[in-house]
Structure 1
Amino acid sequence: MLNKEELIRYNRQIILPDFGVEGQEKLKNASVLVIGAGGLGAPNLMYLAAAGVGRIGIIDFDEVSLSNLHRQVLFKTSEIGRSKAEVSSSRLSDLNPNVDIQIFNEPISSSNALDIIKEFDLVVDGSDNLPTRYLVNDACFFLGKPLVYGAIFRYEGQVSVFNQTDQDGVKGPNYRDLFPTPPPPELVPSCSEGGVMGVLPGIIGSMQANEAIKIITGIGTTLSGKLFLFDASDMSSRTLNITHQENNPLTGDDPKLTVLIDYEAFCSVSSDQPIIRNISPKALKAMITSDNPFVLDVREDYEYEIANIGGTLIPLNQLSDRLDEIPRNDQVIVMCKAGGRSEKAIRLLEKEGFDNLVNLSGGILAWQREIDPALKVY
């Protein structure tokens, strides 16, 4: 039952044709879990809270950083270093005190996903990595929860609705009908590697929130069974059909997946590739003190100018043309911002015959945490 304050707050929504008080009460009685409070999560959280969703869960274990602020509009410069989940909770409560905010300041994993997700009516995925996308998809499938999917890269975004049961009781496609298995990691660069237009997550995240509201209220037609593609560079869009696939390990002709698995391993490189050796920041620091190791930094020029530890800069996209600058006989420590690009660099160099490569675990972000907290990392 809506009180007087709520009737006024949501008036412009309530007067919509086919929405009314009934639609608003459905939102008030609903619960939504948002995975990630970053670029996609921020607009989702703001619009779902503003719309009057009764209970919103936020799962995010990251902290606000300077490089977040051009797209993650929930946060302010003064909040750099603070927990994204806690800041988001405070901001949403200020936006709409009628909403119950529940935060999970921890990574979602195979050990906690089912327990967390089962307490919510639907899930909105604002994550930015393949292991989490497969994990959340599979958990939602096992629990019978609809999932609103979104993804962004550079100027392009995608939105869909997975695992939604229609009025006839037929369950729609899920993420594995689109991607039964993950592509090689080197073909899936993150936003930190490929960049993203700042307004794009706002556009795609708002579309996700729109789908969530439609699922809850039953108004309109959702993107279940469809993949919406948007290109911000020329404002073009198209919609593709998604159908149930025979090789889907959850629902196909021979479903083999019945429990949550190790999704980091599932999305990692194939088993026929050599294991990448890693070195910790502390071990590298000791090596630098006692020796003079060759440190290969594969970030971009502007990143190096912001913060570096004195390594040799060869951006990832220039490696193939500058192989003669990298020693083959001495050990080479490869580093980037967080460890993803350096692993890709190692795979590329291995194909060129290098067998003397070690990855700096966690990249310069880990170096800042463990060795030099005063280092101003973007």
Structure 2
Amino acid sequence: MLTTQEQLKYSRQIMMGKIGEQGQIALRNAKVLIVGVGGLGNPVSLYLAAAGVGTLYLADGDNIELSNLPRQIQFDEQDINQNKADVAAEKLSTQFPDSNIEAIDEMLDQELCDYYVPQVDLVLDCSDNIQTRYLINQACVTHTVPLVIGAATGFDGQQLLVDPRNKDSACYHCLFPTSLKAPTNNCQTLGILGPVLAIIGGMQALQAIKVLTADGSENNVQINKLNLYDGLANQWQQFNMKKQQNCNVCGNK
């Protein structure tokens, strides 16, 4: 049951039929791992903490640089040279005391993935490293944990839900098998605009909330849909995916 304070604070969410009080309780009880606290991880963590997600794990081994500030909106010049996860966790804890925020101030490796992923209800990939994407995707499939993937470069972005709880769900490796050499460009090579990251991060947060509040009868959590955003044309495109039965990661699941 929600407290009177929670009912008032989250009233605009609770009044929505697809969330309601039970959905808000589900958010309060949820544990979420956000991998990468940069341009995507900043808005994602802000929106999920603001929505009332009870526990957030923030993982990032990078320190804040001056060039991060135009798009990583939680940080300012006083934070330069400090760890991103530590700074974000401290600021979020102050702004959203309802949420328990834990910083993981190092890059995720296999051991950390196998420790944290089984503990959470959802993982959000906000990284900008292709090897990290493969690692997270593998861990989520192995431990049957939903994964919301986001990426953005230049004016473009993409978002994808992988839900290993559904036997028909494709995974990131189905989309970009390692043998085909997935795209390795990132904002360091192609540049990026902050509003594009806000749009993709917002989509990730929205997808996360829908996954966490779904009661099993809802059909608004769609798998096998790759959403592409073109910021120059201001257009979204959605492409159907299919699980690859010969996928080295999820094919035998």
Q: Same fold by TM (over 0.5)?
A: yes
SS at match of 1:212: helix
**Letter paired with 1:180:** P
State how far apart, in whole Å, the 1-side matches of 2:155 and 2:246 are: 31
Residues of 2 paired with 1:220 and 1:245: CA distance? 23
Are the counterparts in 2 of residues 228 and 239 from structure 1 also a CA contact under 8 Å?
yes
Q: How does 1:1-378 map to 2 (within 5 A)?
A: 1-166=1-166, 170-181=167-178, 183-184=180-181, 188-218=184-214, 221-252=220-251
Greater CA radius of gyration, 1 or 2? 1
SS in 1 for 2:194: coil
**Amino acid in structure 2 at the alignment position of 1:16:** M
> Identity of paired residues, percent?
38
1:66 Cα deviation after fit: 0.7
**TM-score of the aligned structures, taking structure 2 as reference length:** 0.94
In the TM superposition, what is the alpha-carbon distance from 1:2 to its structure 2 partner? 1.6
Query: Residue 2 of structure 2 aligns to a residue in which SS?
Result: coil
**CA pair 39-223 structure 1, distance change in 2 beyond 3 A:** farther
Amino acid of the residue matched to residue 238 of structure 1? Q
Alpha-carbon distance between aligned partners in 2 of 1:236 and 1:33, rounded to the nearest angstrom: 29
CA RMSD after TM alignment:
1.7
Q: Report how many residues are paired.
A: 250
Q: 1:171 to 1:103 in 2, by over 3 A?
A: farther
1:18 to partner: Cα distance = 2.9
Range with greater deviation from structure 2 (205-214 or 5-14): 5-14
Encode CA deviations 1:226-279: one digit per residue, 9 max, x unaligned. 100001111011100110113311233xx5xx9xxxxxxxxxxxxxxxxxxxxx
**AA in 1 matched with 2:59:** I
Inter-partner Cα distance in structure 2 for 1:77 and 1:245: 46
Cα distance, 1:90–1:220 mapped onto 2, change above 3 Å: farther
- Report runs of 4+ in structure 1 exceeding 4 Å deviation: 182-185
| Separation of aligned partners in 2, 1:122 and 1:182 | 27
Separation of aligned partners in 2, 1:228 and 1:246 = 22
Shifted more, 80-89 versus 214-223: the winner is 214-223
Structure 1 residue runs of 5 or longer lacking an equivalent are 259-378
User: 2-side partners of 1:147 and 1:18: how far apart?
Assistant: 21
* TM-score scaled by length of structure 1: 0.64
1:107-141 CA-to-partner distances (Å, cap 9, x unmatched) read 10122211121111110000001100000000000
Unaligned runs of 5+ in 2: none
Instruction: Give the stretch that moved more between structures: 143-152 or 157-166.
Output: 157-166
Work out which structure has the larger RCO, using CA pairs closer than 8 Å and 6 or more positions apart in sequence. Answer: 2
Q: Distance in 1 between matches of 2:190 and 2:176?
A: 21
